[in-house]
């Protein structure tokens, strides 16, 4: 019988397990612990949180064998196959380096890698030196609907809606928070992006992580326009893919999709219009389980072919793009 892979979770907040606090095993897992708990190939061996009460409560909820307040409290003789880093961004570099001594095969890190592209590149190089796979949780990389769209566009298939002409989007909660998700998603679909114009949204209330309106262009000439809104009103994360034969819209962050196709206008002869929307379910809810599945695959075979996941190299490119956008917006 194969010995289960051992997992260490560092940081015991919502993305670590809190989002699944009141969900059942039948529900799609929205957190690291929730997804790991569904897999027989792994065992939740330990968790760490600076608040030991939080760590112990997390351990009790998720049947984690051991709870600690710091990685330094764990014996250096211990080894973990997989480490999930769920600490705040400012602590990412320190958290990643603190688990090197446990000789993990894979580190699954919440986005962004660190507070700057330079620091992120340095962290990536350190992981390479340690022969550790670094996977970054830009979660929509694992969205099946987006993966299908990306694959079709890469193969230059028509997707039923023709060729991609442009992308419009709306987001809020800061360029480094939700903005980084939408930028990474766009780059995964249209390729490398460069900012053409950027400006901090008027009445922006997020000084440390501003909402920025922007226009970007891909290497292939696809223009992407993003408008930010006020998250105090409601959360928003939407993309509209304008195609030659219609329109695809990702709604509610990927929970729903709508489609409109080109049809002849019954009122004006010779004119074409878009049909009424047909709405379908999205592929976002299972993304954490798909991500954990690939993390486990990579831990079991570090030479395995990499699939949809966001490797650290891609995440660093997203961070470089964000820094370019911020520089342009502040000129």
* pLDDT above 90 (res 318): yes
**Higher pLDDT among residues 158 and 300, named by residue:** 300
pTM: predicted TM-score of the whole model, two decimal places: 0.91
Report the pLDDT value the prediction gives residue 201, as an integer from 0 to 100: 86
82 close to 8: Cβ distance less than 8 angstroms:
yes
Of 41-45, 96-100, 130-134, 202-206, the range with the lowest mean pLDDT is: 202-206
Mean pLDDT of 72-95: 95
| pLDDT number for residue 331 | 84
Say whether pLDDT at 161 is over 80.
Answer: no
- Architecture label for domain 144-283: 2-Layer Sandwich (3.30)
At 310, the pLDDT band (50, 70, 90 cuts) reads: low
287 or 308: which leads in pLDDT: 287
* pLDDT confidence bin for 150, thresholds 50/70/90: confident
- The span from the CA of 297 to the CA of 302, in Å, is 8
Alpha carbons 48 and 65: distance in angstroms, whole number:
11
For the chain, how are helix, strand and coil distributed in percent, rounded to 5?
A: 35, 25, 40
Peptide bond into 112 cis (omega under 30): yes
Give the mean pLDDT of the chain: 92
Which residue is associated with the tokens 């015991």?
12
Q: Binning pLDDT at 50, 70 and 90, where does residue 204 land? A: low
- Which pLDDT score, from 0 to 100, does residue 309 have? 55
27 by Cβ neighbours in 10 Å (0-12 / 13-18 / 19+) ranks as: exposed
Report the CATH number of the 5-140+287-309 domain: 3.40.50.720
Domain boundaries, the chain: 5-140+287-309, 144-283
> What is the pLDDT confidence band of residue 13, given thresholds at 50, 70 and 90?
very high
Max Cα distance, the chain (Å): 77
d(CA 317, CA 186): 12
Confidence at residue 301, expressed as pLDDT on a 0 to 100 scale: 81
CB 109 within 8 A of CB 88: no
**Once rounded to an integer, what is the mean pLDDT over residues 16-25?**
94
Residue 200 token pair: 């901090």
> Between 162 and 75, whose confidence is greater?
75
C-alpha–C-alpha distance, residues 88 and 117, integer Å: 16
- Report which secondary-structure segment, H or E, holds 30: none
Is 244 within 8 Å of 166 (Cβ atoms)?
A: no
* Percentage, residues of the chain above pLDDT 70: 93
The whole-angstrom separation of Cα 281 and Cα 229 is 24
pLDDT tens digit sequence for 97-147: 999 999 999 999 999 999 899 999 999 999 999 999 999 999 999 999 998
Q: Own/partner pairs for 322-325, CB < 8 Å, 24+ apart?
A: 322/112, 322/117, 322/175, 322/176, 322/179, 322/180, 322/183, 323/116, 323/117, 324/194, 324/195, 325/175, 325/195, 325/198, 325/212, 325/214
Output the pLDDT for position 153: 76
Q: What is the pLDDT of residue 207?
A: 73
At residue 307 the predicted structure's pLDDT band, cuts being 50, 70 and 90, is: low
Whether the per-residue pLDDT at 174 is higher than 80: the answer is yes
Tokens of 106: 């894979």
DSSP string, 76-95: TT---SEEEE-S-GGGHHHH
Report which of 172, 171, 176, 154 is spatially closest to residue 163, judged by C-alpha positions. Answer: 154
């Amino acid at each position: 019988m194969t010995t289960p892979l051992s997992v260490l979770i560092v940081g015991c907040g919502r993305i670590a397990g809190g989002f699944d606090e009141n969900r059942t095993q039948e529900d799609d897992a929205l957190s690291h612990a929730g997804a790991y708990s569904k897999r027989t190939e792994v065992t939740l061996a330990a968790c760490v949180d600076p608040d030991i009460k939080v760590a112990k409560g997390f351990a009790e909820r998720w049947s984690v064998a051991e709870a600690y307040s710091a990685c330094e409290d764990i014996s250096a003789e211990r080894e973990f196959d997989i480490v999930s880093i769920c600490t705040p961004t400012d602590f990412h570099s320190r958290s990643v380096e603190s688990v090197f001594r446990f000789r993990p095969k894979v580190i699954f890190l919440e986005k962004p890698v660190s507070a700057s592209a330079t620091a992120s590149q340095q962290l990536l190089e350190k992981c390479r030196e340690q022969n550790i796979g670094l996977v970054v949780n830009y979660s929509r990389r694992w969205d099946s609907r987006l993966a299908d769209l990306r694959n079709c566009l890469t193969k230059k298939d028509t997707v039923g809606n023709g060729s991609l002409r442009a992308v419009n989007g709306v987001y809020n909660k800061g360029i480094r928070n939700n903005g980084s998700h939408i930028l990474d998603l766009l780059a995964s679909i249209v390729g490398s992006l460069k900012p053409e114009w950027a400006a901090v949204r008027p009445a922006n209330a997020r000084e440390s992580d501003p909402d920025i309106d922007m226009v970007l262009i891909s290497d292939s000439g696809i223009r992407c326009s993003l408008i930010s809104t006020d998250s105090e009103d409601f959360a928003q994360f939407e993309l509209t893919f304008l195609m030659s034969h219609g329109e695809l819209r990702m709604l509610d962050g990927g929970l729903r999709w709508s489609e409109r196709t080109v049809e002849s206008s019954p009122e004006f002869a010779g004119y074409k219009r878009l049909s009424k929307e047909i709405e379908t379910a999205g592929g976002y809810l299972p993304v954490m389980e798909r991500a954990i599945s690939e993390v486990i695959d990579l831990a079991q075979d570090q030479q395995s072919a990499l699939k949809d996941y966001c490797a650290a190299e891609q995440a660093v490119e997203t961070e470089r793009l964000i820094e370019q956008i911020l520089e342009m917006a502040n000129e």
